[in-house]
């Protein structure tokens, strides 16, 4: 046995040596207890930190009857928003004007909606939102169908023609091609779902609407004639878009106060658009439940649309800003809005990814 000399007595410290293993055991126990305490504290701190960093909850105001919303649905169901650390909820709001009102009220963070709802808000001086992207378009899906005996708009001079919102702009474009204006016909502002029976009953002689309601007009009056679509208008010749394409809007407050969240939203939205472009079949299968339609029907709808993602988005937005100003001018000239807004003042792409 090794002997340790006690400095005070000079005696061999055999008892001390014998006690060392017990002391070491006690020290190990204290160390383990301390470590467990630290781990527990760290776990509690981590839980509190995670709770403090809970994913921001953001609402998207969208329709479930319009295939232009597919990229957002894809981004939600594929987890692209979640990957960006955002908790996004799909809020079903059918009318574009109501969607914009939801963003303005702060009930929704962003939306994809018709610009005929956005431009009048600009004309009223509403500064509660920015626009930042166009992710869908559908030229050729909006047109005018006439009863038998009307070969063109010239034959409709003095007759009743029904239209609504963006389809009214398409109608005016087709009139312009014929050297006519809305004053040359009897214009009837009918709700879209009332157009087919009105046309079938002869209450109107032609009606202008978008798909799938345009097919409903054809079924209601199968021996009628298609007078033209939005692809036959001056707007399409100039911008290669439908009369009033969708535009993505976002809460100004969100962008100004949380640009990091706005950027993450934009990244996920573009991922959804890119996925829809590259994998239309998978996109249709993913989102069919929103539309309550068979996958093949949704796929046909997706293929009838044009979607836009990250590729050349800067040039794409320049085109759409110009189109919005063109449309604003038309709305002002036709006394649809009280003042002519400079739409570029509502554009904000500062939070979008460069590539």
Looking at every residue in the chain, the average pLDDT score rounds to 88
Q: pLDDT at residue 45 above 90?
A: no
Report CA torsion sign: 321, 341, 120, 263.
Answer: positive
Helix (H) or strand (E) holding 325, with range, is: helix 313-333
Return d(Cα 117, Cα 327) in angstroms, integer: 12
Contact 232, 175 (CB under 8 A): no
Listing DSSP states for 35-69 in one string gives HHHHHHHHHHHHHHHHHHTPPPEEEEEE-SS-GGG
Give the model confidence (pLDDT) of 334-354 as tens digits: 899 999 999 999 999 999 988
Tokens of 158: 């003095």
Tell me the pLDDT tens digit for each residue of 265-295: 999 999 999 999 999 999 999 999 999 999 9
Give 145-189 pLDDT, tens digit per residue: 999 999 999 999 999 999 988 899 999 999 999 999 999 999 999
Predicted local distance difference test score (pLDDT) of residue 22: 54
Rounded to whole angstroms, the Cα distance separating 39 from 327 reads: 63
pTM of the model: 0.80
* pLDDT at residue number 124: 97
Q: Which of 29-33, 147-151, 223-227, 319-323 has the lowest mean pLDDT?
A: 29-33
How large is the average pLDDT for residues 203-214? 94
- Decide: helix, strand or coil at residue 226: strand
pLDDT of amino acid 166? 87
Under the banding of pLDDT at 50, 70 and 90, the label for residue 24 is low
Report the SS3 class of residue 215: helix
């Amino acid at each position: 046995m090794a002997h340790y000399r006690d400095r005070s007595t000079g005696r061999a410290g055999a008892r001390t040596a014998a006690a060392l293993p017990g002391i070491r055991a006690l020290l190990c126990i204290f160390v383990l207890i301390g470590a467990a305490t630290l781990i527990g504290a760290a776990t509690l701190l981590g839980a509190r930190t995670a709770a403090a960093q809970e994913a921001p909850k953001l609402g998207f105001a969208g329709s479930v009857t319009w295939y232009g919303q597919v990229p957002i649905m894809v981004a939600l169901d594929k987890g692209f928003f979640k990957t960006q650390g955002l908790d996004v909820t799909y809020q079903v709001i059918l009318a574009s004007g109501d969607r914009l009102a939801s963003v303005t009220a702060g009930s929704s963070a962003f939306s994809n909606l018709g610009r005929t709802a956005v431009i009048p808000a600009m004309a009223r001086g509403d500064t509660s939102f920015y626009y930042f992207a166009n992710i869908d378009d559908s030229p050729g899906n909006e047109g005018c169908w006439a009863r038998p005996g009307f070969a063109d708009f010239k034959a409709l001079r003095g007759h009743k023609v029904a239209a609504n919102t963006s389809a009214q702009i398409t109608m005016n474009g087709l009139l312009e091609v014929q050297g006519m204006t809305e004053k040359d016909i009897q214009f009837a502002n009918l709700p879209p779902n009332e157009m087919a029976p009105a046309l079938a009953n002869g209450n109107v002689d032609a009606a202008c609407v978008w798909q799938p309601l345009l097919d409903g007009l054809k079924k209601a009056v199968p021996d009628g004639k298609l007078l033209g679509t939005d692809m036959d208008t001056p707007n399409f010749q100039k911008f290669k878009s439908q009369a009033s394409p969708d535009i993505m809007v976002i809460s100004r407050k969100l962008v100004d106060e949380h640009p990091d969240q706005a950027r993450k939203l934009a990244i996920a939205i573009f991922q959804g658009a890119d996925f829809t472009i590259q994998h239309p079949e998978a996109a249709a299968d993913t989102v069919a439940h929103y539309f309550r339609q068979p996958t093949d029907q949704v796929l046909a709808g997706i293929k009838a649309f044009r979607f836009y993602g990250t590729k050349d988005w800067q040039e794409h937005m320049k085109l759409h800003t110009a189109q919005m100003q063109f449309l604003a001018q038309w709305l002002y000239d036709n006394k649809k809005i009280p003042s002519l807004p400079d739409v570029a003042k509502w554009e904000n792409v500062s939070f979008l990814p460069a590539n």
